A and B are shown apart, each in its own frame.
Chain A
Amino acid sequence: MNVNQQAHMASPYRQPQPALQGYSQPGYGEPPTQYAPYNGPNPGYQQGPAPAGYFPYSSLPSKALPATLASDLSSNSSSPLDLGPVRPSPNSGPPPMLTPQGYSQYTQGDVQNGPPTMSGQPHRPPVSQPYLPGSQPAYHQHYGAPHTGMQQMTNQMSGMHVSAPPPAVSGYAPSSHPQTSVSFSGVPSFSVSSQQNSPAASLTHGQPPSQPPFPGSPPLSQSPFPGVPPPGSQAQYSSTPPLPVSQPQYSSTPPLPVSQPQYASTPPLPVSQLQYSSAPPASSQAHYPGAQPPPASQAQFSGSSQTSPFHAPSSSFAPPAGAPRHPGVQPMQALPHSQYLSGPPRQPMQGPPLSQQNHVAPGPPQPGMAPGMQGPSAQPAPPGQGQGVHPHQNGAFGQMSGPQPGYGGSYPGPQNYGAQPPPPAAPPQKRLDPDSIPSPQVSELPAVQKTRHRIDPDAIPSPIQVIEDDQANRSSEPFTTGVRGQAPPLVTTNFQVKDQGNASPSYIRCTSYNFPCTSDMAKQSQVPLAAVIKPLATLPLDEVPPYIVDHGETGPIRCNRCKAYMCPFMQFIEGGRRFQCGFCSCVTEVPPHYFQHLDHTGKRVDCYDRPELSMGTCEFTATVDYCKNNKIPQPPAFIFLIDVSYNAVKSGLVDLICAELKTLLDYLPRESSEADSCIRVGFVTYNKVLHFYNVKSSLAQPQMMVVSDVADMFVPLLDGFLVNVNESRAVINSLLDQIPEMFADTRETETVFAPVIQAGLEALKAADCAGKLFIFHSSLPIAEAPGKLKNREDKKLVGTDKEKTLFQPQTSFFGNLAKECVAQGCCVDLFLFPNQYVDVATLGVVPSQTGGSVYKYTCFQVPSDGDRFLNDLRRDVQKQVGFDAVMRVRTSTGIRATDFFGAFYMSNTTDVELAGLDCDKAVTVEFRHDDKLSEESGALMQCAVLYTSCSGQRRLRVHNLSVNCCTQLADLYRNCDTDTLINFFAKYAYRSILNSPTKTVRDALINQSAQILSCYRKNCASPSSAGQLILPECMKLLPVYLNCVLKSDVLQPGADISLDDRAYLRQLVTSMDVAESHVFFYPRLLPLQKLDVEGDTLPTAVRDSEERLSKGGLYLLENGLHLFLWVGANVQQELLQSVFNTPSFGQIDPSMTNLPELDNPYSRRLRAIIENFRAQRPRYMKLMVVKQDDKLEPIFKHFLVEDKSTSGGASYVDFLCHMHKEIRQLLS
C-alpha cells in the first residue's frame, strides 16, 4: 500500500503475475499471450516470475521499461501491457547488453547472494541460467524493452534498474498493476533493502542481477533472488517446494544475469520499483487471484510490488533493488506490514529475520510455500527480500516474489492467500483484497490506528537504505555528463564527475532530468521543474576547476538573438561559418578569429581543444564591455565592522575578533596564480557612533575617526581606510591590539545598525570597488539612527494570520539599503551575537539580498562558542567569492526560468543580481513552460554568471545543462531527484510564509505533494486498490523528507524556539544547496559503537528515530548546523574511557565542545570523523555532548525527525498515513 512508489514495480509484478496468470489465470490470458512465452516460463514460473524477470525481461521488460524508463514508456505508451511489442525491441537491443552485464553482475549477485543464502544463490545461478533458456525469451523481451530504454541508465543504475524494470512493469502494471498495489503491502522491498545491506558491497552487482528479474515482475522475484541471498528466504525456498519452483526461476534468474546486464543497462530499476509497487499489486494479484497460486503470489506481489517500489528508492539498484524498493515501499509497507502483520506479519518478519524486513523473508518462505509458482519465484525473491527486511514488504516480495514469495510469503501468506484467492476471481477483488489487507487504509480510522499499531517503521521507505544503496551503486564509477538527461547520483553519494558537455551536479541539480514536453503534463504532475544552481561551487579535489577561456577583445562569442554564450549546444553549420543557437535557434556568424572547420560528424575539429565546446562548465574572461560603467573594476575590498558596545566587549568577542583578524588577514582569497591577495581591507568599530580607522602604511600609529552623524552616514576618509594588508601590517596589528583596550571600559550599550552598512557601502562607493562587509553585531539597534528597531518579539502571534509579519522586516529601510548595496556590489555578511531578541528578520534583509550570510551565536561565550565562531569566520573570509555578480539563466524555447530563490536581489524578472556570490551559495530556479518542448531536442539551460573575481578580474562563468523531455508522465517520475525537490519545496515554503499564514503554506505543500503522488498513482502506476500507497521509486522518500520540512522549526515552531531562530533558519535555507538542505532536514545519525578505527569507512547511518538508539551506544548526529554526540546510559566503560577519558557516565562533562584528545585509536578515529563532518559543511558545527536522559536530551531529540516532535510534528509513520489519505482523497 504504502509503497506505491513503484507502480512500475507492479508491472513487474504483473509480469510475474502474468506469468502466474499464465499459470493459473485466464485473465492473464492477455498478458500471458504476450507473456505467453513467459507463461511458459511461468509455469516454471514461480521460477518464471523470477526468471520471468529475466526472461520476462524481454517481455516484461517492456512493461518494466514503460514504467521505468523511456524505453519502457514507449512500450508502455503503446500499452505497457503490450509487452510484446515492447519486448521485441527492447529485448533485441538491451538484452545483449544486459546479458553480458547480467552475467557479470550475476556473478556478483551470486556471490552476494551466495553468502547470505548459499543454497538459494547457488540455486539461482544455475537455475537462472536454465531458466534463461526456458523463460528468458519472454522475460528478456520485457526486460529488454526497459533496458533498451534505459541502457545507459542501466549502466548507471544496474541495481536500480533492476528495480526499475519493475516499474516498467508497472507500465505493464496496467494490466497487472493491481497486483503491484498489493506489492506495496508486499514487504519485499524491505527484504531487498536488507539484502542490500547484507550484500551491500556486492549488492550493486548482486542487485543488478536480481534487478533484472525485477524489471519484469520478475524483478521482484529477482530481487528475491538477490534477496535470496537472505539465506533465510532462500533457504526457505530451497526448503519449500516452491523453491524448486523458485529455482526454476532462479534458473530463470540465471538468465537474469543475462538480463541483468540489461538491467544494468537499464536504470529502469527505479522505475521498475515504481512499477512494482503500482503494477504488481493489482494486476498481479488479479492474475494471481485467477490462479490460486496467484493469490499467494499476489500477496507476494503486493509485497513484491511494494518491494519493488522500495527498491526503486532504496535498492533502486540491483539486487538491493528488491531491498531498496522495500525501503521505498516501506512507508507503504508500513501499511502493508500492518496488513501483513495482521496476517502473517511477524512471520514474514521472522522469515526474513536476516533482513529485518522479515516480511520479505516470511514472504519468500511463504511464497515458496504457498504457490508453487509463486513460491519459487516469490521465494527466491523473498529470500532476497527477506534479507532486505523492509524491502521485503516492498517489493521484494511484492514484485518479484511478491507474486511468488510475497504471496507465498508468509506475509499475506494466509491472509493474502485467503484474500487474494478470492480476488483471483476478479481483479477488482484482488484490489479489494489488498485493500482488505491494508484494511487500515481502507477504513481510515482503523487504518490509522492499525498503522500506528502495526506499521513497522522498518517497513516504510528508509532514507538510510536509499542513501546507502546509491552510495554503493554509484560511487565507484565516475559520473560522466555527456549524455542528456542523466540523473546524477544522490547528493549523499561520493562520486566523481567527468564533464563531457553538461555541468556537473556540483553546480546544477534538477528536480527532474526529464521535463514534461507540455505544460499540461507539468500541471498535471505538479512536479516542480526547478534547478538548484551553485555557480561557484567548490569541486572535489580530484576534479578540475572550470577552464578559463579568452575569446579576445570582442568578448565571448554569443548568439546574436538570445545572447547565449558559446557552449556545446551550439550547432555549427555551413562548414563552420555559422552556428545555430541551441536555445533560440537563431543562426549567427562565426567571427573569423573563431572559425574552425567541421569534421565529418559536423563537429568542429577543435571541439575538444575548446572547453566551451566540450565542457558543460567553463569560464570566460569578460571584456571591459561587461564591466560596470565600462571601467575595469578595482580589486574588491573587505571591510570589518565590529560592534564595540558593552555586550560585545564583555563577552570577549572584541578581543577574539581582533586577535583572530591578525592572522586571518594572511588568508584572504586570492587567485591561485597570485602570491598575495589583491583584496584590500578596512576596519570600522561602532556602538552608537562609528569609528573608522586610517591604517595607511606610512602612519606610525593608526588613526581613529569617529563619525557621530549616523543619520547621514558618510565615509570620513579615503586614502588609508582600505589598505593592502602586507603594506600596512604594522599599523593594522597595532590597531587590532588597541581596539580591545580602547573599548575595554566602554559603557555604551546602544548600537546602530543601518548606518554601519551605509558606512561600508559608502566606503566602497568612495573607493569605487565592490567588496564584502563583515559585520559583527551584538544587539537590537535601538540607538537613534536610521533603521532603528523596536523589540517586536511577540510569541502570541505565532500560529495566527499575523505570524507572517514576524518574518517581514520592520521597516522598508533595509530593503532600500540592500538595493543600494547591490548596485555597488557590496555584499554583507552578518555575524550576530545576541543575548536577546535582535530581530534577525529585519537585520538579515541586507545580507540576504546581497548574497551574504548571516551567522548567529546566541548568548555567545568565548569558551563555548569561540571555536565555532572563529572557524566560521575563517571560512567565511577565506572562501572563494565573486563580487558584483549578475546571473542569468537562459533556456531553450519552450521553458523559461520564472522564479528564483536564494540570497540575491532582482530588479527585473530575469537578472539575478548578487552583490557577492561565494562558493556556498545556491540559487534555486523554477522553470515553467511557455511552449512545447520536443523530445528530440530536450530542454537546455545555460546559467551565466558575470562576476568580479577576488583579484578584480571580470569573469563569466557559464554552466550548461541539457535534460530530456518526455511525453509520458512515467518518464518524468522516473528521473526525479527527491533531494532537489525538497530543496525547492523548502525554499518555496520558506518564502511563502512571508505572505501567507504558516498553516496555509504547510497545507499547500502537503497538497502539492499529494498531487504529485496521486498523479503518479493515477497515470503511471498500475491500477490497484485505493488502499495501497504507491510511490514512485525516485520519490519514495518524498513523504519522509517532506515531513521533515513541515515540522522544521520555521514551519512548525516549538514553544522554545525564538522568532530570531526561525527567521535565521528561514534565511539560511534560502541559499542552501541540495546537500546542505538534505542533511539539514534529515540529519545524519551515525552509530559509533562499532567504529572501524583503522579504515576510513564510516559506519552505516541509522534512521533519525529514537528507537534506533541503543542505550549502550554512542551516536553522532549532524545537520549542518549542529553536531551532537549522544551517549547512551549503558555505554561500556571502556568506550567512555577511550572517548571521554572517564570511566563513568556521570562524570562526562556535558558542556564540552570538543572531545579530549586521547591517544587511542577509537578517540582518534572519532575525532577524525567529527573533523571530517565539520569540513564537509559550510558552517562549523559545535559539538554538543548529550547524555541520555540528561536535560539537554530534548534538544537532541528535536533532530530525530522520524519521531513525533514536541512541537506537534507528525512522526514519519503518521505522516505517511496522512499522505496516503490525501492521495486517496485526490484519487477519488
Chain B
Amino acid sequence: MATYQEFIQQNEDRDGVRFSWNVWPSSRLEATRMVVPLSCLFTPMKERPDLPPVQYEPVLCSRPTCKAVLNPLCQVDYRAKLWACNFCFQRNPFPPAYAGISEGNQPAELMPQFSTIEYIVQRGPQTPLIFLYVVDICLEEEDLQALKESLQMSLSLLPPNALVGLITFGRMVQVHELSCEGISKSYVFRGTKDLSAKQIQEMLGLTKPAAPIQQGRPAQPQDHSFSSRFLQPVHKIDMNLTDLLSELQRDPWPVPQGKRPLRSTGIALSIAVGLLEGTLPNTGARVMLFTGGPPTQGPGMVVGDELKTPIRSWHDIEKDNAKHLKKATKYYEALASRSAVNGHCIDIYACALDQTGLLEMKCCSNLTGGHIVMGDSFNTSLFKQTFQRVFSKDYNGEFRMAFGGELEVKTSRELKISGAIGPCVSLNAKGPCVSETELGLGGTSQWKICGINQFTTLGMYFEVVNQHNAPVPQGSRGAIQFITQYQHSSTQKRIRVTTVARNWADAQSQIQHIEAAFDQEAAAVLMARLGVFRAESEEGPDVLRWLDRQLIRLCQKFGQFHKDDPNSFRLSESFSLYPQFMFHLRRSPFLQVFNNSPDESSYYRHHFVRQDLTQSLIMIQPILYSYSFYGPPEPVLLDSSSILPDRILLMDTFFQLVIYHGETIAQWRKAGYQEMTEYENFKQLLQAPLDDAQEILQTRFPMPRYVDTEHGGSQARFLLSKVNPSQTHNNLYAWGQETGAPILTDDVSLQVFMDHLKKLAVSSAS
C-alpha cells in the first residue's frame, strides 16, 4: 500500500474528502483524547471529469430512519437479490430493475471505484436558473458605468434560458419590469419600510387573482406568467435589459454636503428575497447584490447618513459602540434564513474604498452559499474578472454552479455527527446519527447549501460514540455516507452520493497507526474552522487561548519528550508542520482583527470557511516562491530571512498575490537592464513570477489583489506582515547578516513560539 500521503491524496481526488484522522480511534474516550476531533473536509461538488452521472435513481435502504443509499460497501446477496445496508444492517431487496444483477454484472454504485457516484433524477419540474441583479445606483458615475458594462457583459454569459431580473436601489428601491416595449417600467418601493413577502407580492401585482378553480393543473404556467414581468428569459430580453442597464442613472436624489447617499440595501435585498420567495420557491436562484457603500437607511442600515459619524470599527464593536450592528445583523440574518429556506443564494459584490457593511450582511452569503467579493471599485479588473468568473464553465460547458443543495450525512453506528462548518444552514433533521455534542452547526444530519460550486467545502465534525468497553470487531470499518441533492446548472436534479470508510483502531494498542494516519493539513484547516467559527461569537483572545490549549494538548499527546525538558521535545513527521500552521493561523486575519476592518475580517472568514483544503492552507500559511539567477524558482520559508536583495519573491496569500523585487533586483530594474539584449536573462527573471502569478490569477475565485512591489515599496507591507518575523528590530542578533530583512514588529517569531510551545508541552504543570 502506498503511503498515507498518497492514500489521502487519492481519496481526496476521488471523493473530495480529507479526514483529520484516517484511522479512527475506536472509542469515545480515546477519540476525545486525540484533541483534534474526528472530522473531515468535504467538497460535495468536487469536479470529477471522469465520473459520468448515471441516469437513474439511487436505491435506498428501506428502513425509514435510515434511507442510506446503496453503495459499494454494502453486502450484496446476488442470489437472493438482497443487499444489506452497511449503516443500519437492514436487509433490502433490490428493486425490480435490478433483477439482472450478478457478481459479474454489477450496477455502478456497487463498484468500489464509484464510492462517489452521481445520479440524475427526473423528478419535479425543471425550472430555469434565476439571476436577480440587485444594483446600487448610489455610485460614482465611473463606477456605475463600469458596473453597468459588467452587467451587460454578464448577460451574454448567462444560460440563454435563465431568467433574469433587475432591482436597483438608492434612496428608493426599484423593481424593473423587463418585458416592456417603448417605456421602461419599474415598481418603486420606499427604502425605509420593511414589507412582508406577501405585501411585496401584492404590490408587485403578483398575487394570484382569485382565479376560478381550475381543475387539475395547479397554476404552474400562470405562476410563470406572473413572475415573468420581472424575471424574463435572457434570450428574450437581453436587448431590452441591455438598454435598460445603459439607461440606469445615478440615484437622482440630491446628497447634501456632509451626508452619505441614502442607500436602501436592506429593503432592496428584502424585496429581492420576497420576490423570489413568492414566485419561485425552491428553485435555483442567485440574488446578486452589487453595492458601493454601506446601507444608510431603513432596516438593515449600518451607518447613518451623517458623514461625521464614521462606520463602525472593531474598536467600536469592542466598546459596544456600534449602534446599528446588532439590529442590522439580525435583520440580514432573518433575510438570509428566509432566502435559504427557499433555496436562493445571495451574492454580495461590494466595491468601495470604505466599508460597506459586509460584517452585517455577510450572513446573507454565508448562510446561502453565495459569494462575497470585496473590491475597491467596480472599475477594477479585480471585480470585473471575478464577476466574469462567477459564470465560468466546466469541461462540459456547464456552469460551475449548483443550487439548492441538500447535504445529508449517514454514519455507521459507532459515529455520530456533531456538526458542520461552511456556507450552509441546518435543516434541523434529527436522527439516530445526530450527536448531542455540537461542533459548528450541529444538531442535524442535513444541511442546506443554496449555492455550491466545485470548491465549496464543508468541515464536517463527528463524534465517536462507541464505548470503550464495546470494542469494534477487528478489521471492521466505520463508514460515512454523504448524500448531496442539488439542482445542476443544467437545471437537472442530481444526487451525488459519496460513501467513505476508514479503519477503526484501538488507540491504546495502535496509537502509532492512528498517529501515522494523521492528516495535519486537514487537521489544521479543520481546527482553524473551529477557531473561526468560535471567533464569530467569542472574543478574539479567548479563541486564541483555546487554539493554543488545543495545540499544547496535541503536542502533549503526540509529542515525544521528557517531562520538563523542552529540548527533548520531538514530533513525528505527520505532526511536524502542525504547530507552524497554528503559528500562522494565530497571526492570520481570520483570528486577528488588528489592522483589518470588520468588513475585511468578515470577508476573509467568509472565504476561509468555504474553500477547499489547498486554498485554505494557502490562506493560513501563504506560499512564498523565490526567483533568482541561482536556480529554478523554489518555494522558500515564509520568513523574513527569505527576503533577500537579489531575489524576486512571489507570495500568494489567496487574497493577495504579491511580487516583491529584492533591493538589488529593484535597482536593476530601475536601471532598465531588462531592456538590454545582453541582459535578456534578467528580463526573463523578471517575467517568470509574472507568468506564474498570471496563472494563479486566472484560476482563482475571487481574483486576488495583485500587487507588484519592491524593496522599500509601500505595498511591501503585504509581504512583511505575513512572513515570520525571525528578524526584527528587537532581535538584532541577525542584524547585518545577509539573511534577510528585519521586520518592524512586536510579534513573536515562529522560533519564539515554538520555544514556548515546547516548554508548555513538556511542562508537567498543565
Q: Which A residues lie at the B interface, using CB under 8 A?
A: 689, 691-692, 696, 699-709, 712, 714, 716-720, 734-735, 738, 741-742
Tell me, in angstroms, the Cα distance from A732 to B719 when the chains sit together: 59
B184 in the interface, Cβ–Cβ < 8 Å? Answer: yes
A714 touches B172 (CB 8 A): yes
Neighbouring A residues of B183 by C-beta, 8 Å: 701-704, 734-735, 738, 742
A751 shortest CB reach to chain B, Å: 15
**0/1 string, B224-257, CB within 8 A of A gives 1:** 0000000000000000000100010100111000
Neighbouring B residues of A734 by C-beta, 8 Å: 182-183
A707 touches B188 (CB 8 A): yes
B200 shortest CB reach to chain A, Å: 9
**0/1 string, B164-175, CB within 8 A of A gives 1:** 000000001010
Q: Which 7 A-B pairs have the closest CB atoms?
A: A708-B203, A719-B252, A716-B188, A704-B185, A706-B187, A705-B188, A703-B184
Tell me, in angstroms, the Cα distance from A689 to B186 when the chains sit together: 12
Q: Which residue, of A689, A709, A712, A718, has the highest number of chain B Cβ atoms within 10 A? A: A709
A718 touches B253 (CB 8 A): yes
**0/1 string, B249-268, CB within 8 A of A gives 1:** 10011100000000000000
26 sampled A-B residue pairs with Cβ under 8 A = A689-B205, A701-B182, A703-B183, A703-B184, A703-B186, A703-B247, A704-B180, A704-B184, A704-B186, A705-B174, A705-B186, A705-B188, A707-B188, A708-B187, A708-B203, A709-B190, A712-B193, A716-B172, A717-B172, A718-B252, A718-B254, A719-B249, A720-B249, A720-B252, A734-B182, A735-B183
Identity of the chain B residue whose Cβ is nearest the Cβ of A713 in the assembled complex: B190
Neighbouring B residues of A706 by C-beta, 8 Å: 177, 185-188
Q: Which residue, of A696, A699, A702, A704, has the highest number of chain B Cβ atoms within 10 A? A: A704
A707 touches B187 (CB 8 A): yes
A637 shortest CB reach to chain B, Å: 15
A695 shortest CB reach to chain B, Å: 10
B204 in the interface, Cβ–Cβ < 8 Å? Answer: yes
Neighbouring B residues of A712 by C-beta, 8 Å: 190, 193
A714 touches B186 (CB 8 A): no
B701 in the interface, Cβ–Cβ < 8 Å? Answer: no
Tell me, in angstroms, the Cα distance from A689 to B206 when the chains sit together: 13
Given contacts A714-B172, A716-B174, contact A709 B193 (CB under 8 A): yes
Tell me, in angstroms, the Cα distance from A716 to B189 when the chains sit together: 7
Neighbouring A residues of B187 by C-beta, 8 Å: 705-708
* Other-chain residue from B205, B247, B253 in contact with A708 (beta carbon distance below 8 A): B205
Neighbouring B residues of A704 by C-beta, 8 Å: 180, 183-186
B252 touches A709 (CB 8 A): no
A703 touches B189 (CB 8 A): no
Tell me, in angstroms, the Cα distance from A719 to B172 when the chains sit together: 13
Q: Which residue, of B180, B188, B189, has the highest number of chain A Cβ atoms within 10 A? A: B188
Neighbouring B residues of A714 by C-beta, 8 Å: 172, 190
Neighbouring B residues of A696 by C-beta, 8 Å: 249
Neighbouring A residues of B202 by C-beta, 8 Å: 708
B188 touches A700 (CB 8 A): no
B185 touches A703 (CB 8 A): yes
A767 shortest CB reach to chain B, Å: 11
B750 shortest CB reach to chain A, Å: 59
Tell me, in angstroms, the Cα distance from A914 to B257 when the chains sit together: 34
A685 shortest CB reach to chain B, Å: 11
B252 touches A699 (CB 8 A): no
* Other-chain residue from B174, B203, B252, B254 in contact with A689 (beta carbon distance below 8 A): B203
A14 shortest CB reach to chain B, Å: 80
B292-313, CB < 8 A from A: none
Neighbouring A residues of B174 by C-beta, 8 Å: 705, 716
Q: Which residue, of B174, B182, B243, has the highest number of chain A Cβ atoms within 10 A? A: B182
Neighbouring B residues of A735 by C-beta, 8 Å: 183
Neighbouring A residues of B254 by C-beta, 8 Å: 718
Tell me, in angstroms, the Cα distance from A692 to B188 when the chains sit together: 9
Identity of the chain B residue whose Cβ is nearest the Cβ of A719 in the assembled complex: B252
**0/1 string, B633-673, CB within 8 A of A gives 1:** 00000000000000000000000000000000000000000
Neighbouring B residues of A716 by C-beta, 8 Å: 172, 174, 188
Neighbouring A residues of B253 by C-beta, 8 Å: 718-719
A738 touches B182 (CB 8 A): yes
Q: Which residue, of B185, B193, B202, B243, has the highest number of chain A Cβ atoms within 10 A? A: B185
Identity of the chain A residue whose Cβ is nearest the Cβ of B186 in the assembled complex: A705
A129 shortest CB reach to chain B, Å: 85
Neighbouring B residues of A741 by C-beta, 8 Å: 182
A752 shortest CB reach to chain B, Å: 13
Tell me, in angstroms, the Cα distance from A701 to B246 when the chains sit together: 12
A361 shortest CB reach to chain B, Å: 76
A714 shortest CB reach to chain B, Å: 5
Neighbouring B residues of A700 by C-beta, 8 Å: 243, 247
Identity of the chain A residue whose Cβ is nearest the Cβ of B243 in the assembled complex: A700
Neighbouring A residues of B243 by C-beta, 8 Å: 700
Identity of the chain A residue whose Cβ is nearest the Cβ of B253 in the assembled complex: A718
Tell me, in angstroms, the Cα distance from A847 to B253 when the chains sit together: 29
Identity of the chain B residue whose Cβ is nearest the Cβ of A721 in the assembled complex: B252
B89 shortest CB reach to chain A, Å: 59
Identity of the chain B residue whose Cβ is nearest the Cβ of A698 in the assembled complex: B249
Given pairs A703-B186, A712-B193, 5 additional interface contacts (CB within 8 A):
A701-B183, A704-B183, A704-B184, A707-B188, A709-B195
Tell me, in angstroms, the Cα distance from A741 to B243 when the chains sit together: 21
Q: Which residue, of B180, B183, B203, has the highest number of chain A Cβ atoms within 10 A? A: B183
B194 shortest CB reach to chain A, Å: 11
Neighbouring A residues of B177 by C-beta, 8 Å: 706
B588 shortest CB reach to chain A, Å: 46
Identity of the chain A residue whose Cβ is nearest the Cβ of B248 in the assembled complex: A703
Identity of the chain B residue whose Cβ is nearest the Cβ of A708 in the assembled complex: B203
Given contacts A705-B174, A709-B203, A738-B183, contact A699 B247 (CB under 8 A): yes
Tell me, in angstroms, the Cα distance from A708 to B195 when the chains sit together: 12
Tell me, in angstroms, the Cα distance from A486 to B226 when the chains sit together: 73
Neighbouring A residues of B249 by C-beta, 8 Å: 696, 719-720
B184 touches A717 (CB 8 A): no
Identity of the chain B residue whose Cβ is nearest the Cβ of A714 in the assembled complex: B190
Q: Which residue, of A692, A699, A707, A708, has the highest number of chain B Cβ atoms within 10 A? A: A708
Identity of the chain B residue whose Cβ is nearest the Cβ of A690 in the assembled complex: B188
A741 shortest CB reach to chain B, Å: 8
Neighbouring B residues of A703 by C-beta, 8 Å: 183-186, 247
B189 touches A709 (CB 8 A): yes
Identity of the chain A residue whose Cβ is nearest the Cβ of B185 in the assembled complex: A704
Tell me, in angstroms, the Cα distance from A720 to B182 when the chains sit together: 17
A708 touches B204 (CB 8 A): yes
Identity of the chain A residue whose Cβ is nearest the Cβ of B190 in the assembled complex: A714
Tell me, in angstroms, the Cα distance from A699 to B247 when the chains sit together: 7
A701 touches B204 (CB 8 A): no
Tell me, in angstroms, the Cα distance from A708 to B207 when the chains sit together: 13
Tell me, in angstroms, the Cα distance from A707 to B243 when the chains sit together: 22
A760 shortest CB reach to chain B, Å: 15
A462 shortest CB reach to chain B, Å: 61
B216 shortest CB reach to chain A, Å: 25
Neighbouring B residues of A742 by C-beta, 8 Å: 183
Neighbouring B residues of A720 by C-beta, 8 Å: 249, 252
A661 shortest CB reach to chain B, Å: 16
Identity of the chain B residue whose Cβ is nearest the Cβ of A734 in the assembled complex: B182
Neighbouring A residues of B204 by C-beta, 8 Å: 708
B690 shortest CB reach to chain A, Å: 43
A496 shortest CB reach to chain B, Å: 51
Neighbouring B residues of A719 by C-beta, 8 Å: 249, 252-253
Tell me, in angstroms, the Cα distance from A738 to B254 when the chains sit together: 29
B192 shortest CB reach to chain A, Å: 9
Neighbouring A residues of B190 by C-beta, 8 Å: 709, 712, 714
B230 shortest CB reach to chain A, Å: 11
Tell me, in angstroms, the Cα distance from A705 to B172 when the chains sit together: 11
Identity of the chain B residue whose Cβ is nearest the Cβ of A692 in the assembled complex: B188
Tell me, in angstroms, the Cα distance from A705 to B185 when the chains sit together: 6
Neighbouring B residues of A699 by C-beta, 8 Å: 247
Identity of the chain B residue whose Cβ is nearest the Cβ of A703 in the assembled complex: B184
B275 shortest CB reach to chain A, Å: 13
Q: Which residue, of A689, A700, A705, A720, has the highest number of chain B Cβ atoms within 10 A? A: A705
